[in-house]
Structure 1
């Protein structure tokens, strides 16, 4: 059964297998790899330390590094198999407002085109109101048709397409009701990804 779980050192082997599916140097949105050099994560100790950093990033009583924001991280899993990651940034700084948004996600290459990103985004939207969010910003690269469809199927309304320092980005807002459901009439019914 597909579910969102907190990052755990118990999935070290599966996470490494997933990481090796990505091209060298590929960016994995929502994975929190900016907190660590992923080459060091082959060590169980380094991996456990990174997992703890991911967990602590959601604790607003702890400071975050300059340029970072508090964020909640989840892994998309099926049993003991790591399928991807998604994070919810609790607030936006200037960079996130321009290019990153509130939510980032990535699915390992072998698990794509199964509806996992759409499902995971829908699940995280349900959790956003608990942080006081009544709308969230999501962005994707101009040419990322799959991500644009994922956002739009969860009620994303395109605000604009703009050139940024890291490429052309599509910027979407999703307005939420108090339970985290999209208020957009265009939002599709969410389905179970299992």
Structure 2
């Protein structure tokens, strides 16, 4: 039995989630995926926002529905966050892709990124996504290794806003 697993956001993990966010904020790093930037001061509202992002149909195509999961340990420590977009718009086809994930700073380089992506690919398959696009900055060697270790195949590279971005595809049938 594994010691860590993906869960939907829950008040049961409030203190651990807030601790992770505060740890991240202390580093001054950009927080990825984007849902980590949501205000957590009203935790019930945060949970509702994440559920709305998943459930309320988008009438315009500037935003897309997505599901958020937290990677947690049996002791309830929140290790990381993954967001899976159900469909892509034109912008996300270039940069963003289906899946964004992040591991809290003090838990990096322990294999958790590979695991969160592996489990996210299973969730994506359950959402009916057969082929997942994941993008990352070319110089983000950790993400490149995480993606390729999960079967990612480099599709293209492009300079976007001065940053070299790589696009990888992963077939969800090959995972889980």
The TM-score bracket by the shorter chain reads 0.7 to 0.9
- By how many angstroms is 1:31 displaced? 5.1
Q: How many residues align?
A: 172
Distance 1:62 1:159 in 2: 30
Whether the aligned pair in 2 keeps the contact of 1:31 and 1:106 (CA below 8 Å) is no
Long gaps (5+) in structure 1: 183-189
TM-score by length of 2: 0.87
Aligned with residue 12 of structure 1, among 11, 14, 26: 14
Distance 1:166 1:69 in 2: 25
- By how many angstroms is 1:120 displaced? 1.3
Runs of 4+ displaced beyond 6 Å: none
RMSD: 2.1
Matched, 1:30 2:22: no
Long gaps (5+) in structure 2: none
Provide the residue aligned with 1:98 in structure 2.
94
Greater fraction of residues in helix: 2
1:78-111 CA distances to partner (integer Å, 9 max, x unpaired)? 1321111001100101111111000000000001
- By how many angstroms is 1:12 displaced? 2.0
Rate the CA distance shift 1:53–1:176 in 2: closer, same or farther, 3 A. same
Distance 1:64 1:80 in 2: 36
Provide the residue aligned with 1:121 in structure 2.
117
Whether the aligned pair in 2 keeps the contact of 1:64 and 1:70 (CA below 8 Å) is no
TM-score by length of 1: 0.80
Matched, 1:57 2:53: yes
